[in-house]
Amino acid sequence: MVSHLAAQIELCKFCDSTNLIKQTGDAEPTSHYGHLTCGDCKKFITWLQDPALTEVFEVRQGMIRDLLKRSGSLNQCEAPFLRNILNQRYLTPKQQDWLDKIFMRVLGRVSPRQPAAKQNPPTQRVAGQFGLP
Ligand SMILES: [Zn+2]
Protein backbone atom coordinates (compact mmCIF):
# COMPACT_ATOMS: atom_id res chain seq x y z
CA MET A 1 0.00 0.00 0.00
CA VAL A 2 1.38 3.40 -0.97
CA SER A 3 -0.49 6.43 0.22
CA HIS A 4 0.14 10.12 0.53
CA LEU A 5 0.00 11.43 4.06
CA ALA A 6 -1.88 14.48 5.15
CA ALA A 7 0.33 17.55 5.31
CA GLN A 8 -0.05 18.06 9.06
CA ILE A 9 1.89 14.90 9.88
CA GLU A 10 5.39 15.97 8.91
CA LEU A 11 7.57 17.98 6.65
CA CYS A 12 10.55 16.44 4.96
CA LYS A 13 13.52 17.28 7.17
CA PHE A 14 15.75 17.58 4.12
CA CYS A 15 13.75 19.75 1.72
CA ASP A 16 10.63 20.82 3.73
CA SER A 17 8.36 19.10 1.23
CA THR A 18 4.93 18.00 2.47
CA ASN A 19 4.75 15.37 -0.24
CA LEU A 20 5.54 12.43 2.03
CA ILE A 21 4.94 8.87 0.93
CA LYS A 22 4.07 6.13 3.38
CA GLN A 23 4.91 2.60 2.30
CA THR A 24 3.49 -0.38 4.13
CA GLY A 25 2.49 -3.95 3.35
CA ASP A 26 3.66 -5.30 0.01
CA ALA A 27 5.12 -1.93 -0.97
CA GLU A 28 7.53 -2.13 1.97
CA PRO A 29 10.59 -4.09 0.84
CA THR A 30 12.09 -4.65 4.32
CA SER A 31 11.00 -6.65 7.33
CA HIS A 32 9.75 -3.45 8.97
CA TYR A 33 6.06 -2.56 9.03
CA GLY A 34 6.67 0.38 6.75
CA HIS A 35 8.60 3.55 6.16
CA LEU A 36 8.16 7.15 5.20
CA THR A 37 10.01 8.71 2.29
CA CYS A 38 9.93 12.15 0.72
CA GLY A 39 8.09 12.23 -2.59
CA ASP A 40 10.27 15.09 -3.82
CA CYS A 41 13.87 14.46 -2.75
CA LYS A 42 13.19 10.68 -2.35
CA LYS A 43 15.10 10.53 0.93
CA PHE A 44 14.24 8.11 3.71
CA ILE A 45 12.60 9.95 6.63
CA THR A 46 11.59 7.38 9.25
CA TRP A 47 10.47 3.83 9.94
CA LEU A 48 6.79 3.36 10.69
CA GLN A 49 5.55 1.14 13.50
CA ASP A 50 2.63 -1.21 13.20
CA PRO A 51 -0.28 0.39 15.14
CA ALA A 52 -1.72 -3.07 15.96
CA LEU A 53 1.60 -4.07 17.49
CA THR A 54 1.71 -0.86 19.54
CA GLU A 55 -1.70 -1.60 21.05
CA VAL A 56 -0.73 -5.16 22.02
CA PHE A 57 2.57 -3.89 23.40
CA GLU A 58 0.88 -1.30 25.63
CA VAL A 59 -1.61 -3.78 27.09
CA ARG A 60 1.15 -6.31 27.71
CA GLN A 61 3.37 -3.68 29.32
CA GLY A 62 0.57 -2.77 31.75
CA MET A 63 0.12 -6.46 32.65
CA ILE A 64 3.86 -6.90 33.20
CA ARG A 65 3.89 -3.87 35.53
CA ASP A 66 1.06 -5.55 37.44
CA LEU A 67 3.14 -8.69 37.79
CA LEU A 68 6.19 -6.78 38.96
CA LYS A 69 4.10 -5.28 41.78
CA ARG A 70 3.37 -8.82 42.96
CA SER A 71 7.01 -9.78 43.30
CA GLY A 72 6.05 -12.31 46.01
CA SER A 73 4.42 -14.42 43.26
CA LEU A 74 7.50 -14.43 41.07
CA ASN A 75 10.58 -16.62 41.32
CA GLN A 76 14.13 -15.34 41.01
CA CYS A 77 14.30 -15.97 37.24
CA GLU A 78 10.92 -14.45 36.43
CA ALA A 79 11.41 -10.97 37.85
CA PRO A 80 14.60 -10.21 35.82
CA PHE A 81 12.96 -11.72 32.73
CA LEU A 82 9.94 -9.45 33.12
CA ARG A 83 12.05 -6.35 33.63
CA ASN A 84 14.07 -7.35 30.59
CA ILE A 85 11.08 -7.58 28.23
CA LEU A 86 9.07 -4.70 29.73
CA ASN A 87 10.09 -2.26 27.00
CA GLN A 88 10.49 -4.78 24.22
CA ARG A 89 7.92 -4.15 21.48
CA TYR A 90 8.10 -7.57 19.91
CA LEU A 91 8.54 -10.83 21.79
CA THR A 92 10.00 -14.04 20.41
CA PRO A 93 7.62 -17.07 20.57
CA LYS A 94 9.74 -18.46 23.43
CA GLN A 95 9.46 -15.22 25.45
CA GLN A 96 5.73 -15.09 24.72
CA ASP A 97 5.26 -18.68 25.97
CA TRP A 98 7.14 -18.06 29.19
CA LEU A 99 5.31 -14.80 29.77
CA ASP A 100 1.91 -16.42 29.21
CA LYS A 101 2.75 -19.11 31.77
CA ILE A 102 3.52 -16.43 34.35
CA PHE A 103 0.43 -14.41 33.39
CA MET A 104 -1.82 -17.46 33.69
CA ARG A 105 -0.42 -18.45 37.05
CA VAL A 106 -0.43 -15.01 38.66
CA LEU A 107 -3.18 -13.07 36.84
CA GLY A 108 -5.28 -15.95 35.47
CA ARG A 109 -5.24 -14.65 31.87
CA VAL A 110 -2.82 -14.35 28.97
CA SER A 111 -1.68 -11.25 27.11
CA PRO A 112 -3.24 -10.24 23.77
CA ARG A 113 -1.73 -11.85 20.67
CA GLN A 114 0.80 -9.79 18.80
CA PRO A 115 0.52 -9.68 15.00
CA ALA A 116 2.80 -12.16 13.25
CA ALA A 117 6.26 -10.93 12.35
CA LYS A 118 6.56 -9.86 8.77
CA GLN A 119 8.49 -12.28 6.61
CA ASN A 120 11.21 -10.95 4.39
CA PRO A 121 9.94 -11.07 0.82
CA PRO A 122 12.23 -12.45 -1.88
CA THR A 123 14.94 -9.86 -2.43
CA GLN A 124 14.72 -9.92 -6.19
CA ARG A 125 12.13 -10.95 -8.66
CA VAL A 126 13.22 -11.96 -12.10
CA ALA A 127 11.04 -10.25 -14.68
CA GLY A 128 8.53 -12.63 -16.17
CA GLN A 129 8.99 -15.33 -13.55
CA PHE A 130 5.86 -14.44 -11.62
CA GLY A 131 3.88 -13.24 -14.59
CA LEU A 132 5.21 -9.71 -14.16
CA PRO A 133 5.85 -7.57 -17.22
ZN1 LIG B 1 12.48 15.88 0.77
Res 39: pLDDT: 96
pLDDT digit string, tens, across residues 109-132: 999 888 876 666 555 545 444 544
pLDDT digit string, tens, across residues 10-23: 789 999 999 999 99
Q: Does the CA dihedral 114-115-116-118 come out positive or negative?
A: negative
Query: Cα(42)–Cα(132) distance, rounded to whole angstroms?
Result: 25
Ligand 1 centre to CA of 42 (Å) is 6
Res 128: pLDDT: 47
Ligand 1 centre to CA of 123 (Å) is 26
Beta strands in 16-73, from DSSP E residues, in sequence order: 20-24, 34-38, 44-48
- Ligand 1 ion: nearby residues, β-carbon < 5 Å: 12, 14-15, 17, 38, 40-41
Map residue 129 onto helix, strand or coil.
coil
pLDDT digit string, tens, across residues 53-89: 889 999 999 999 999 999 899 999 999 999 999 999 8
The residue type at 49: Q
